[in-house]
Amino acid sequence: MASYSTNEFKSGLKVMLEGDPCSILENEFVKPGKGQAFNRVKLRNLASGRVWERTFKSGESLEGADVLDLDMEYVYNDGEYWHFMKTDGSFEQLGADKAAVSECVRWLKENEIYAVTLWNDNPIAVAAPNFVELEVVDTDPGLKGDTAQGGTKPATLSTGAVVKVPLFINIGETLRIDTRTGEYQSRAKS
Amino acid sequence: MSGQSQVRLLQDRARLMRLVRAFFTARSVLEVTTPSLGSRGATDPHIESMRVKQGNQAYFLQTSPEFAMKRLLAYGSGAIFQICPAFRGGESGAHHNPEFTMLEWYRPGMGLVELMDEVKDLITGLCREFEQVFEPVESGTYRSLFEHQYSVNPHRVSSQQLLEITHSKLPGFAGNAYNEENYEDEGVIDDLLGLLFSRGIEPGLLDPQFVTEFPATQASLSKVGQVAGDQVALRFELYWQGLELANGYDELTDPTELTRRIARDNRIRESRGLPMMLSDQRLLAAMAEMPTCTGVAIGLDRLLMLLTDKESIQEVLSFGIEDC
């Protein structure tokens, strides 16, 4: 893998830092008039999702990380791994562990397409599409009448996720959920 | 950038140039023009002179007009100023562009305090025209600012102490470049002082403030003096909105001392694998003839940023480095 010097750092570049693959978010050039130049860099650790801030002496370099974002179809969970299939017609499947799937587990629906981040061909992170459509498996009975009223109640979805929904929603309905906020958007158009 | 704001920028820039020229003309300071190309470049290890070829001869794009202007002073030019492009390799960011516009002037017979007053007068007048307020707070010494932030005297601190402070105050300091093997390198103290100053002190200098008495190892082409038992560089910098705007020197006029500093620069360059830079014999000869004087340089693009409330230097350039 190539290595990249601080002057090649730019947003989106994938590099190795302290053993983890990271994506550069911001790169700020800091230089006292006649002093040594530094780069203040914000990176997202792709394995943990955490944002790191580091200061490098300008000219230092980091090794590139072999990281690839791939659209893959979620197939099934075997109790330990969540299996995703490539959508390139190869039917090749890869298993993602709990750390990789992380929060996204709440939105995993079979046959949906997810963005899977691969590092050296292993899934390290899974991102849901912005919107998913999921069925309500449990909620209090719907209230008839004024659907404009603002009240909400919890509803459990087929994936186990619990979201706040309007009072008029019933078990069996399919809802459109914004995975970025975890909020109900609308009933799914059937 | 939209066409309209582009035109507005050009007008603001033209107005700035006009006002600066009027200021110096009124004070009988002579405008000069010196070449952007020079046969010698800056020796400072942290400044990269860009190389260009002309025939079989290599030249350097000047990182400031300092060498040439000092030769004019030695000829007896008297007080001079210049507005010109300056070039520094590898400097690119929100506050840096590898090519930028510098205002530099020299005042034979003037002291540093008087020169700071002149800088203040110039910027105060410009601010009035651009409807900004410029009211510097009391000057601070490098030592007082540094002690306030880090509780050590920057003129006496060891590289080991600085490394410890850096690791405790800047948790994100990757530090691969500074470890047990190379912290004895004679440039390390300045690197770490610079890092701590630019990360921990500069961002807090929001009100305009002159900072004086820099570490002697950062004297560059200024004189060094004794203050309270410390060796300090007789120079100042002006900060505003956390940005370094101006850099003024009580100018070194001793060629022997300059030769010593160039040798040190080259030792640091060699230990870091940087190209060695030849000393400028014409500058050394001029230095012996030069009058006692002070000089100061102002980054005009940065000043224009502040005058027009812009966040990035790219916004005040007709075309920045990504667009030229």
Q: What is the pLDDT of residues B37-75, one digit of tens each?
A: 999 999 999 999 999 999 999 999 999 999 999 999 999
Residues in contact with B260: Cβ distance below 8 Å, sequence separation at least 6, in sequence order: none
> Which of B195, B244, B249 is the best substitution to test chain A (most A C-beta atoms within 10 A)?
B195
Comparison of pLDDT for A62 and A149, the residue scoring more: A62
Cα–Cα distance, A57 to A37 (Å, whole number): 6
Closest-CA residue of chain B to A29: B93
Average pLDDT, chain B: 93
Q: What is the pLDDT of residue B160?
A: 87
Q: What is the pLDDT of residue B4?
A: 84
Mean pLDDT score, B8-12: 95
Query: B260, B43 in Cβ contact below 8 A?
Result: no
Q: What is the pLDDT of residue A49?
A: 83
Q: What is the pLDDT of residue B100?
A: 97
Q: What is the pLDDT of residue A144?
A: 63
- A17 has a pLDDT exceeding 60: yes
Q: What is the pLDDT of residue A47?
A: 83
Average pLDDT, chain A: 89
Mean pLDDT score, A112-116: 94
Contact B93 A34 (CB under 8 A): no
ipTM value for the complex: 0.78
Q: In angstroms, what separates the C-alpha of A136 from chain B's closest C-alpha?
A: 45
How far is CA B38 from its chain centroid? 19
- B245 has a pLDDT exceeding 90: yes
Strands (E), A31-130: 38-45, 51-57, 61-63, 67-77, 82-86, 93-96, 113-119, 122-127
Q: Which of A12-16, A48-52, A161-165 has the weakest average pLDDT?
A: A48-52
Do strands B30-31 and B80-87 pair parallel, antiparallel, or not at all (unpaired)?
Answer: parallel
Mean pLDDT score, A12-36: 89
Contact A35 B218 (CB under 8 A): yes
Chain B touched by A54 (CB under 8 Å): yes
- A16 has a pLDDT exceeding 70: yes
Q: What is the pLDDT of residue B179?
A: 61
Q: In this predicted model, what pLDDT tens digit does every residue of B289-305 receive, in sequence order?
A: 999 999 999 999 999 99
Cα–Cα distance, A171 to A165 (Å, whole number): 11
- A33 has a pLDDT exceeding 90: no
Amino acid identity at B273: G
Is residue A174 within a helix (H) or strand (E), and if so which, with residue range?
A: strand A174-178
Mean pLDDT score, A26-34: 86
Q: In this predicted model, what pLDDT tens digit does every residue of A57-80 receive, in sequence order?
A: 888 899 999 998 899 999 999 999
Q: What is the pLDDT of residue B118?
A: 98
Q: In angstroms, what separates the C-alpha of B107 from chain A's closest C-alpha?
A: 21
Partners of residue B178 in chain A, C-beta under 8 Å: 57
Q: What is the pLDDT of residue B234?
A: 98
Mean pLDDT score, B155-171: 87
Do strands B293-299 and B99-108 pair parallel, antiparallel, or not at all (unpaired)?
Answer: antiparallel
Comparison of pLDDT for B54 and B184, the residue scoring more: B54
Q: In this predicted model, what pLDDT tens digit does every residue of B67-113 receive, in sequence order?
A: 999 999 999 999 999 999 999 998 999 999 999 999 999 999 999 99
Residue in this structure with the two tokens 């190795």, named with its chain if needed: A16
Residue in this structure with the two tokens 């230990």, named with its chain if needed: B271
pTM for the full predicted model: 0.81
Cα–Cα distance, B110 to B115 (Å, whole number): 7
Secondary structure string (H, E, C) spanning A11-56: CCCEEEECCEEEEEEEEEEECCCCCCCEEEEEEEECCCCCEEEEEE
- B175 has a pLDDT exceeding 90: no
Cα–Cα distance, B84 to A170 (Å, whole number): 73
pLDDT category at B6 given cuts 50, 70, 90 is confident
Do strands B209-215 and B140-141 pair parallel, antiparallel, or not at all (unpaired)?
Answer: parallel
Chain A touched by B187 (CB under 8 Å): yes
Q: What is the pLDDT of residue A143?
A: 64
- Three-state DSSP at B68 gives helix
- B133 has a pLDDT exceeding 70: yes
Q: What is the pLDDT of residue B310?
A: 95
Comparison of pLDDT for B174 and B118, the residue scoring more: B118
Partners of residue A54 in chain B, C-beta under 8 Å: 172-174
Contact B187 A36 (CB under 8 A): yes
A93-96, strands of its sheet edge to edge: A93-96, A82-86, A67-77, A113-119, A122-127
Comparison of pLDDT for B294 and A88, the residue scoring more: B294
Cα–Cα distance, B105 to B211 (Å, whole number): 19
Nearest to A34 among B170, B173, B218 (CB): B218
- B185 has a pLDDT exceeding 80: no
Q: What is the pLDDT of residue A35?
A: 85
